[in-house]
Amino acid sequence: MRHAALTSIFLLLALAMGPVQPVSASVDAAPAQEVLQEQAAAQEHADDDHGPLPPAWLVLPFAALLIMIATGPLFFAHHWHHHYPKYSVVLGLFVGLYYIFVLDSPIAVEHAASEYLSFIALVASLFIAASGIFVSINAKGTPLNNVVLLFSASVIANIIATTGSAMLFIRSYMRLNKGRLKAYHIVFFIFLVANVGGALTPIGDPPLFLGFLRGVPFFWTFTHVWYIWLPATALILLVFYVLDSRNKAESPNAVPGQPIVSLEGSKSFFWVAIIIISVFIDPNVFPWVPDLHYLLGVPFGIREIIMFTVAFLAFKTADKTAMEKNEFNFEPIREVGWLFLGIFATMQPALQLISNFASQNADSLTVGLFYWGTGALSGILDNAPTYLNFLAASMGKFGMDVNDPASVNAFAESLNSAIYLQAISVAAVFFGAMSYIGNAPNFMVKAIAESNGVETPSFMGYIVRYSIPILLPVYFVIYIVFYSGWIL
């Protein structure tokens, strides 16, 4: 097991260096003894999955990495730009080696390796494939046109994932606002296209896809979230419209006689489609798919192999003119690869401790607390494993096992428990917009904007100036209306 975990670490390092982050019968309370037995079995399974609990101080490397991400570009930018991979690797290795040699829990490192490889495979492949498509919008950059683009890209995020939609539209969005592009344009793009927009389908955002793999019906998310998604999206767009209306700078006028939207490199849509289809090539979805982790002991599967292969082929066959017009380079994915390598490695102790706390206190946690707990942690931890941990804890309230697809399906369809799944799903996706590291495409959008000479807020500036004053009031209204019990 130690050998496998060490192999996982070196695989992560190698990959990050290359150019190449989701109605009927209710559930009755089980007899007390039966509930205790099921919870004991679930706890035993959790111990097998994650090993012994780490000491609380092992969260410090994760905190240190977050602090450096927040302060590095501000106070020691030149040093940070040249050495951030080293900090990420050293902190990640420290935590990984502690798990292997002190906690004797290499399985935790293997989990981190598997999650990271799935994350970077999806993000890198969509980044490269979508960069081969040049979207030209022949319109003037106005508040109304921006609202139309942001809303359209948010809807499309549910079809090609938030990462795919963000990579497809970010450059055309910046070109549309040439001459008037400000930091808030990038921030609201992250809010909507990279996060909130993808809350309607399991394809849209990684947390929802994890739920689908565990047994949540594919269309459950749409039917239970659309009436929250729509007003939340409208409120954020309204704030954007008011803010953008105060921007009096002018962008170039539309060219008469030219189509409003034109595409170059449309053949790359084929590669995007292959990537989206490959998301479902998982043993949990189709039993005939070989489980390479079980068969070979490697921290990746057929899906990741397909995605990395497509990334290579998409780059080699891309329309070179489209790539040049998109000013494509590998720096954004390189930065994301290195930083999230450290994040995935160092956040494991925090996830374990949070999961343990939520499981131990599930009976006393209300729907509102699940909403705020999932949300708060999704903003600073990767929102996918946060979603899964709180889903497991909420199912524990009903004596149900998150590892049983039939139980997850029943949990989703029950009138008593569906509200918990809804709260966790909404919070994981929406709160992923609270920081640059809350969701896979956030940091990449920032990196692309900066590589094109666009000023973006710092890590703390993003949170203090934008996400807290703009998003938190919207999310608080959602809590009051749907989860506080004061109105509904």
Which string of DSSP letters, residue by residue, matches 37-53?
A: HHHHHHHHHHHHHH-SP
Answer yes or no: is 89 within a domain.
yes
Cα(365)–Cα(368) distance, rounded to whole angstroms?
8
Give the other-Cβ count within 10 Å of 247's Cβ.
Answer: 18
Which residues, 6 or more positions from 199, have their beta carbon under 8 angstroms from its beta carbon? 158, 205, 208, 221, 225, 228, 229, 425, 426, 429, 430
The pLDDT value recorded for residue 15 is 38
3-state secondary structure of 137: strand
Answer yes or no: is 33 within a domain.
no
Answer yes or no: is 295 within a domain.
yes
Cα(312)–Cα(153) distance, rounded to whole angstroms?
26
The pLDDT value recorded for residue 381 is 77
pLDDT in 10s for each residue of the chain, 488 residues? 444 444 444 444 443 444 333 333 333 434 334 433 444 444 444 444 557 889 999 999 999 998 998 888 888 889 998 999 999 999 999 999 999 999 998 988 988 898 889 888 988 999 899 999 999 999 999 999 999 999 999 999 999 989 889 999 999 999 999 999 999 999 999 999 999 999 999 989 988 988 888 889 989 999 999 999 999 999 999 999 999 999 999 888 888 888 888 999 999 999 999 999 998 898 878 888 998 887 888 888 999 999 999 999 999 999 999 999 888 889 888 988 999 899 989 988 988 888 788 778 877 888 999 999 999 989 987 788 889 888 988 888 888 888 788 899 999 999 889 999 999 999 999 999 999 988 878 988 998 999 888 889 999 999 999 999 999 999 999 999 999 876 54
Answer yes or no: is 389 within a domain.
yes
Which helix (H) or strand (E) segment is 176 a member of?
A: helix 143-176
As for how many domains the chain has, the answer is 1
Under a CB-based contact definition with an 8 Å cutoff, are residues 162 and 442 in contact? no
Answer yes or no: is 52 within a domain.
yes
Answer yes or no: is 445 within a domain.
yes
Answer yes or no: is 93 within a domain.
yes
Under a CB-based contact definition with an 8 Å cutoff, are residues 142 and 91 in contact? no
3-state secondary structure of 264: strand
Written as one string, the DSSP assignment of 140-168 is ---HHHHHHHHHHHHHHHHHHHHHHHHHH
Under a CB-based contact definition with an 8 Å cutoff, are residues 76 and 462 in contact? no
Helices 220-245 and 418-430: angle between axes, nearest 10 degrees: 30
Answer yes or no: is 135 within a domain.
yes
Range of the domain at 425: 2-21+39-483
Token pair, residue 408, equals 């997850």
